[in-house]
Structure 1
């Protein structure tokens, strides 16, 4: 409701300025006809300059208003695009814990059936988060990119080129095109 009232108030301000400009133009025309005969062109020049100044003010105000509208629209789009960022960030440790739990080996049939159930829950949670725009950052055997990876360790593997990620220690995630958490990796020297 407040945003609509702000827009209405700004429209009123612009309308008031337009009315004021029209009133000054009419009064300038009346004055200029009377004063041309008596005082010459000096007053006409003065009023013409005032009119130009007011027109410049009006144009600046209009440009400021258009810039404001554009900024508000961009902010609103960004807010809508990244609306789920906080909740997704808070759920990343849950995904990590699920991954750790699912990496354990099942020793009995009971544990195996429980692991199957946990895997189903994990997959459902992951699908729901992906529907919100969560994307896992691929790291292993990729070139190290400081925009997406955080180097925690280095190692020298002569079989692989320098700057290649050897191991992913913690998964990283994106929300659409924004990094929520970089991947923690081990990089080849």
Structure 2
């Protein structure tokens, strides 16, 4: 056998071995690609589960913190009526010994209701003297005032309330505006 024949035989053997290994390499590459795709899917599902867990925890905390919102909103009308009842009692009737226990009882009920509100994170919004904040105040009217800067709350018709960091009810307010003719400089 000549060297040339040996080389041809070696080439043929290599080609045959390569041809036999090629399908195995292709299958290996396909399996490797499938494994990588499956790995990426698993990572994606893990990330989604972690996001779902965080979102659920946040929603549960919010539900716990704000579960009483509807009930608290309903109690605000009770608080308003207690304030109106106390404001409606004339000073001469307050001094009457027969009515003093009734007045004291209404006052104590109002104080107890405020204590319950505080215990549950329900706080009154300070309005008078504050700049109008559309996130906390609902302007019902404008009132001329030389004493307050325009846009300042000068009258409160109904108190506003927050539950923790959320608005429960906006304060209904009257806002100062400049008196007619004040601040206008007309040059002839």
| 1:53-92 equivalences in 2 (<5 Å) | 53-92=37-76
Deviation of 1:117 (Å): 1.4
Aligned equivalent of 1:151: 139
Count of matched residue pairs: 155
Aligned equivalent of 1:30: none
Q: Secondary structure in 2 aligned to 1:155?
A: strand
**Alignment partner for residue 125 of structure 1, among 113, 135, 139?**
113
Q: Which range moves more in the overlay, 100-109 or 120-129? A: 100-109
Aligned equivalent of 2:123: 135
C-alpha contact (below 8 Å) 1:36/1:44 kept by paired residues: no
Q: State the structure with more CA Rg.
A: 2
**Alignment partner for residue 82 of structure 2, among 95, 98, 108?**
98
Cα RMSD of the aligned pairs, angstroms, is 1.6
Gaps of 5+ in 2: 1-18, 178-188
Gaps of 5+ in 1: 1-34
C-alpha contact (below 8 Å) 1:156/1:188 kept by paired residues: yes
Q: Secondary structure in 2 aligned to 1:126?
A: helix
Deviation of 1:39 (Å): 2.1
Q: Does residue 185 in structure 1 map to residue 152 in structure 2?
A: no
C-alpha distance in 1, partners of 2:71/2:23?
74
C-alpha distance in 2, partners of 1:119/1:56?
66
Structure with a larger share of its residues in helix: 1
TM-score under structure 1 length normalisation:
0.77
C-alpha distance in 1, partners of 2:45/2:132?
49
TM-score under structure 2 length normalisation:
0.78
Q: Deviations over 1:117-175 (max 9, x none)?
A: 11011101210121011100000011110000000000111221111001010001000
Q: Which range moves more in the overlay, 40-49 or 161-170? A: 40-49
